[in-house]
C-alpha cells in the first residue's frame, strides 16, 4: 500500500513538473545531461557486433548500410541513424557509441550494449551475439567504474537520473519457432522471456536505476521474410498471437513493478502498432513504400542479402531510402526511425505510456524525492 501511494505521488510530481510553470526545477534538471544506457538487439545495435566473433548475417558494417549519414558504415542496421541516436539527440546528448568499440573509453553520457541477434534468454544465439545477461554484466562493470571515478554519491545520482532503453524479445520468439519446440506452450515461453527480462530490470534497480524505456516487439507475423514464404503473402497469425501474448504480459509486469519497486517509472512504446500502420498505409506517414525493403532481393526484397556479404550475394538497392519504411527486410530506414523516435520521445498515451521518454528525461529521481518530502 505504501508503494502504491508512492507511485501516486510520483505521478502527481510528474504532472506538476510537466504542466505547472511554478515547478522551476524541471527546466534546471533538463538542462543538465541525463545518461542513457541502451540494451537489446539489432534495432538498437550501433556496431557492437563489429567486435565479436559472429556472422555477417548479424553485422552491418559494410555499404550500403549507413549510406545516408555514416561514412564509413558503423554497423547500424539502417541507411543512417537508429532510434537511440535520435533519442540521444532529443535529450541533448551526443551519439552513444558501441560499448565494445575499443576507441570508446568515455561513458559519462551512458553506453550502448545492444547486439544484433541478442535474446532475452541465454539460449537464443548465445555464441554469435551478446546475450542480454552479458550486456547486463557490462553495465554492472560500468557501475564499478562510475563509483571509482565519480565517487559513490555522484555515481548514485548519475544512475538514478539515467534512462535505460530496451528493444528485445523478438529474436527469442523467432528462435523458438526455428527450433520447432512444440512441447513448449507459448504462454509458458512468454513467461520465461518476461521473467528473465524482469531479472535484468531488478539488477538495474538494485544498482540505482529507476527509469526504463522499452519497445513492444516488432510485428513478427508480418515481417517481409515471413510473408514472402507464405503462398498468399499474408501475415502469419500464429506469430502475431505470440507477439500479442508477449506485449500483454510485458504491460502487466511493468504495471506490477511500479507498485513493488521504489521510484520505478517506465515508458512503453507501441512499436509493433506504429510499424504496422506504416506497412499498411505508408503515404499517410510521408512514405511511398511499406511492403518492400529498400535493400535486398526476391519478392518484397525480403531475402536479407543487403550489401552482398551474406549467404545470398545479389541484391537490389532503391534510389531513395527516404521513400521506404524498411531499409533491409527487418530494419527501418533512417526516415522511419526518426518518426518512431519522435513518437517514443513525445507521443501521447496511446503511443507511449504511462509516460513518454521526454517525461522520463525531464523528471529526475531527486525531483521526486524533493517534492515528496516537502
Q: Which of 45, 161, 172, 328 is catalytic?
A: 328
Distance CA 306, CA 297 (A): 8
For residue 128, which phi and psi values (nearest 5 degrees)? -125, 10
Crossing angle, helix 237-260 and helix 2-19, to 10 degrees?
100
Q: Which of 6, 42, 78, 115 is catalytic?
A: 42
Cα atoms found within 13 Å of the Cα of residue 285, Cβ hemisphere only: 23
Which of 332, 361, 168, 330 is closest to 246 using CA atoms? Answer: 168
Distance CA 240, CA 273 (A): 12
Grid coordinates of 330: 527487418
CA R_g for the chain: 20
328 is catalytic: yes
Which of 187, 308, 320 is closest to 246 using CA atoms? Answer: 187
Q: Which of 246, 331, 367, 371 is catalytic?
A: 331
42 is catalytic: yes
Grid coordinates of 217: 516487439
Positions marked active-site: 42, 328, 331
Amino acid at each position: 500500500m505504501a508503494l502504491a501511494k508512492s507511485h501516486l505521488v510520483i505521478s502527481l510530481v510528474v504532472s506538476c513538473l510537466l504542466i505547472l510553470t511554478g515547478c522551476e526545477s524541471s527546466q534546471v534538471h533538463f538542462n543538465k545531461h541525463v545518461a542513457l544506457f541502451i540494451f537489446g538487439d539489432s534495432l538498437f545495435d550501433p556496431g557492437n557486433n563489429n567486435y565479436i566473433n559472429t556472422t555477417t548475417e548479424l553485422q552491418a558494417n559494410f555499404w550500403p548500410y549507413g549510406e545516408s549519414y555514416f561514412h564509413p558504415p558503423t554497423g547500424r542496421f539502417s541507411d543512417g541513424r537508429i532510434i537511440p541516436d535520435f533519442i540521444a539527440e532529443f535529450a541533448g546528448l551526443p551519439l552513444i557509441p558501441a560499448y565494445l568499440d575499443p576507441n570508446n573509453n568515455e561513458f559519462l553520457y551512458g553506453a550502448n550494449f545492444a547486439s544484433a541477434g541478442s535474446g532475452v534468454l541465454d539460449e537464443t544465439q548465445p555464441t554469435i551475439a551478446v546475450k542480454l545477461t552479458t550486456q547486463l554484466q557490462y553495465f554492472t562493470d560500468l557501475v564499478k567504474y562510475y563509483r571509482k571515478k565519480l565517487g559513490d554519491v555522484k555515481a548514485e545520482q548519475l544512475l538514478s537520473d539515467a534512462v535505460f532503453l530496451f528493444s528485445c524479445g523478438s529474436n527469442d520468439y523467432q528462435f523458438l519457432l526455428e527450433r520447432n519446440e512444440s512441447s513448449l506452450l507459448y504462454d509458458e515461453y512468454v513467461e520465461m522471456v518476461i521473467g528473465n527480462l524482469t531479472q535484468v530490470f531488478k539488477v538495474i534497480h538494485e544498482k540505482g536505476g529507476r527509469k526504463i524505456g522499452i519497445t513492444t516487439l516488432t510485428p513478427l507475423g508480418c515481417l517481409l521474410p515471413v510473408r514472402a514464404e507464405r503462398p498468399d503473402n499474408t501475415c502469419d497469425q500464429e506469430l502475431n498471437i505470440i507477439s500479442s501474448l508477449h506485449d500483454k504480459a510485458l504491460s502487466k509486469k511493468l504495471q506490477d513493478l511500479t507498485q513493488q519497486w521504489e521510484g520505478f517509472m517506465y515508458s512503453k512504446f507501441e512499436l509493433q502498432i506504429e510499424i504496422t500502420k506504416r506497412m499498411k498505409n505508408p503515404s499517410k506517414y510521408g512514405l511511398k513504400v511499406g511492403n518492400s525493403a529498400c535493400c535486398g532481393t526476391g519478392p518484397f526484397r525480403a531475402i536479407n542479402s543487403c550489401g552482398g556479404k551474406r549467404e545470398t550475394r545479389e541484391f537490389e538497392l532503391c534510389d531513395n531510402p527516404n521513400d521506404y519504411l524498411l531499409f533491409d527486410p527487418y530494419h527501418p530506414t533512417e526516415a522511419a526511425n526518426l518518426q518512431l523516435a519522435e513518437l517514443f520521445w513525445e507521443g501521447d498515451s496511446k503511443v507511449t505510456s504511462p509516460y513518454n521518454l521526454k517525461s522520463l528525461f525531464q523528471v529526475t529521481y531527486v525531483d521526486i524525492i524533493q517534492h515528496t518530502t516537502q
